[in-house]
């Protein structure tokens, strides 16, 4: 009887120790897993430090025939309409391009607080930008069957270099009246720049853009925008800003920059479609 009681006492004493040991082991495993995840994340970010000037960080050419171009982290649209984003043939240079569509007044083409159907590469880590990075951005765009109204000042967006949160947008390439214009971060107090005064004559034709940027939170950055029209052999410089604050956010707590392309804002009671292709990011440093 005494032996049985002694065994019970020992069991009661050991049980809490076993529970504590198991709990500690579980916590240790959880911490180890978190450490492994963090290490993997850091290694992924550090891989950017091994880049050489001229390396391609993102190449969305749509030759997979899919709206993500087969790239993890590329989102086609957040609008819910079945045809808010879809594939078209041919593309600017290859077999495929992406089309974005908005039907004004239909809520399925409304997302993120406005009439919008845009792709983005926010979750493609190599496509993000931060201060001190030097990048080249390229894309091709086609205004599908548009009728531009010289009397309508509505600004429709085609491409954005954007910062997360409620921070300003360093660059937007937009349509307004019968023109394509550049719009800059309001914090820099810069007027719009017209890069194509008569866009109507280039409807249903591919227009090519290139933007070179040194991202800087001080006045040491630059932003240079180039354009190549159909039949032109090379890009021509349309706007150059030097000694310029290109990055106006604080770059803290996960804040970063990323690109968007598609269609954002259309004139009242209109339907518009735009094609995009060959969205590329190249590291310049």
The model's pLDDT over 236-284, given as tens digits with 9 standing for 90+, comes to 999 999 999 999 988 777 789 999 999 999 999 999 999 999 999 999 9
**Angle at CA of residue 15, ends 13 and 19, nearest 5°:** 135
Neighbours of 143 (CB within 10 A): 24
Among the ranges given (139-153, 168-182, 198-212, 248-262), the one the predictor scored with the smallest mean pLDDT: 248-262
Q: What is the Cα–Cα distance from 126 to 57, expressed in whole angstroms?
A: 6
With CA atoms as reference, report the closest residue to 251 among 189, 170, 174, 182.
Answer: 170
Residue 147, CB half-sphere, CA atoms under 13 Å: how many?
A: 2
Confidence of residue 18 (pLDDT cuts 50, 70, 90): very low
What is d(CA 222, CA 82) in angstroms, rounded to the nearest whole number?
Answer: 40
Q: What is the pLDDT of residue 167?
A: 86
In this predicted model, what pLDDT tens digit does every residue of 45-100 receive, in sequence order? 434 557 788 999 999 999 999 999 999 999 999 999 999 999 999 999 999 999 99
SS3 per-residue string spanning the chain: CHHHHHHHHHHHHHHHHHHHHHHHHHHHHHHHHHHHHHHHHHHHHHHHHHCCCCCEEEEECCCCCCCCCCCCCCECCCCCCCCCEEEECCCCCCCCEEEEEEECCCHHHEECCEEEEEEECCCCHHHCECCCCEEEEEEEEEEECCCCCCCCCCEEEEEEEEECCCCCCCEEEEEECCEEEEEECHHHCCCCEEEECCHHHHCCCCEEEEEEEECCCCCCEEEEEEEECCCCCCCEEEEEEEEECCCCCCCCCCCCEEEEEEEECCCCCCEEEEEEEEEEEEECC
What's the rounded mean pLDDT across residues 37-47? 35
Q: Which pLDDT score, from 0 to 100, does residue 38 have?
A: 31
What distance in Å separates the CA atoms of residue 74 and residue 177, rounded to the nearest whole number? 31
5, pLDDT greater than 80: no
Assigned token pair, 136: 């080249």
Q: Do 143 and 175 contact (CB within 8 A), yes or no?
A: yes
Rounded Cα distance, 65 and 59, in Å:
14
């Amino acid at each position: 009887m005494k032996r049985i009681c002694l065994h019970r006492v020992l069991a009661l004493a050991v049980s809490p120790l076993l529970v504590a040991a198991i709990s500690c082991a579980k916590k240790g495993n959880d911490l180890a897993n978190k450490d492994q995840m963090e290490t993997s994340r850091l290694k992924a970010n550090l891989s950017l430090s091994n880049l050489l000037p001229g390396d391609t960080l993102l190449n969305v050419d749509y030759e997979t025939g899919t709206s993500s171009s087969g790239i993890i982290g590329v989102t086609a649209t957040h609008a819910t309409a079945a045809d808010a984003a879809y594939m078209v043939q041919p593309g600017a240079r290859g077999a495929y391009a992406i089309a974005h569509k908005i039907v004004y007044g239909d809520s399925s083409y409304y997302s993120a607080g406005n009439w919008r159907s845009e792709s983005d590469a926010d979750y493609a880590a190599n496509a993000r930008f931060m201060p001190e990075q030097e990048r080249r951005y390229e894309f091709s765009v086609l205004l599908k069957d548009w009728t531009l109204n010289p009397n309508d000042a509505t600004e429709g967006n085609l491409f954005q270099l954007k910062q997360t949160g409620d921070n300003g947008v360093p660059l937007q390439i937009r349509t307004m009246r019968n023109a394509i214009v550049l719009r800059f971060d309001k914090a820099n107090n810069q007027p719009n720049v017209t890069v194509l005064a008569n866009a109507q004559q280039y409807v249903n034709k591919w227009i090519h853009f290139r933007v070179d940027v040194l991202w800087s939170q001080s006045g040491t950055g630059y932003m240079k925008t180039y354009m190549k029209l159909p039949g032109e052999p090379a890009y021509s410089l349309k706007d150059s800003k030097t000694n310029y604050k290109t990055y106006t956010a604080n770059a803290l707590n996960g804040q970063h920059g990323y690109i968007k392309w598609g269609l954002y804002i259309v004139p009242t009671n209109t339907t518009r479609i735009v094609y995009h292709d060959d969205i590329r990011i190249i590291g310049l440093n």
